[in-house]
Chain A
């Protein structure tokens, strides 16, 4: 090979290397650009994910708050519902108590027959209060003592006549106040089984008394409505008995 041929071949080689290096440089630049673009897109994606995460976090917080609110509301509704149920039971109880009082009052004024009035008094005490041992007394103005006019479940002979001031029953005729067992001193002999004694009153004047002895086995003591029934009996029963007497006089 001649020198000029050698020179030509060397230049050609150098040229090829230079071109190769140039191409490689170009490829590196392109790769660099591609990677830079990739980094930018990843950064953008990262930012998007960060935003989404933030959104989800705030959504979760909001849901948590909503859940707590709902739980609070549910517990409020539950307690409201319990309160309504309790109110309903209380209203039912009051309704029943009013029915008791209404029935007692209605029955007492529904007849002018003395025996029927006495029967109604016994029915009220047996069926509404819960005692089948009772005695009804009338105050005799002439003797000033209480005379037994109706009895059930007790020995009538033992209570045929009670003097004013004698035992609990006689005391009630003086004070005009209802006596309930346990409220003050026990009764005298024979009055141990006495549960209550109710005066019969007309315009604050005692006209008689109702003695309530032992309660029925299933009745566990007197309740507030029983005391209201006693108050009602004190005036309505006295008035009913008085009306039967007036009616009898009018007929004569």
Chain B
């Protein structure tokens, strides 16, 4: 996968198996006479193709714009350029860890309140504590529990929508 979020050879979306992942957060409902619905943008950051593919499959039915980052630095840059409604960060990533990305994003005005879900195999209490200290909104452990993942994502996106309305 490239930093622009384009699909790679190693991606089933390339053969139309899954919805295309876009590198931009533009809403795509247009010209059908229905009210234009802004699609939520979700940034997925993980250095594992297996996890990224799993997350994309789980979110395929949810009508989100998905943007992909393969390391911590790319996740940080895309969070600022794409302005996602929610960010899912792996903890162990090259260049910057999920904790570091989370901390840096919390220092930026535009991502100060963006929901950030940290996802990791490190489920020990000290790591969870470290995640919350870094400013994450929620902490998920691998292997992915699909129901928990989707529920937390919806919950935080709902919170984000309510915050924008108020």
Contacts and interface: CB of A to CB of B under 8 A. Distances in A.
Contacts of B146: 92-93, 95-96, 99
B3 to A, nearest CB: 20
A107 B53 contact: yes
A126 interface: yes
A127 B57 CA distance: 15
Interface residues of A, number: 27
Interface residues of B, number: 22
Contacts of A149: none
Contacts of B147: 89, 92-93, 96
A127 B92 CA distance: 12
A130 B53 CA distance: 17
B143 interface: yes
B123 interface: yes
B48 A103 contact: no
Interface residues of A, dominant DSSP: helix
Contact of A104 (B9, B50, B121, B145): B50
A127 B53 contact: no
A219 B143 contact: yes
A127 B48 contact: yes
B48 to A, nearest CB: 5
B123 A218 contact: yes
B51 A127 contact: yes
A8 B85 CA distance: 127
Contact of B50 (A92, A93, A95, A103): A103
A68 to B, nearest CB: 38
Interface in A112-153: 120, 123-124, 126-130, 132
**Max chain A Cβ within 10 angstroms of own Cβ: one of B9, B12, B142:** B142
A132 B145 CA distance: 17
B44 to A, nearest CB: 13
**Max chain A Cβ within 10 angstroms of own Cβ: one of B50, B54, B145, B150:** B50
B20 to A, nearest CB: 17
B4 interface: no
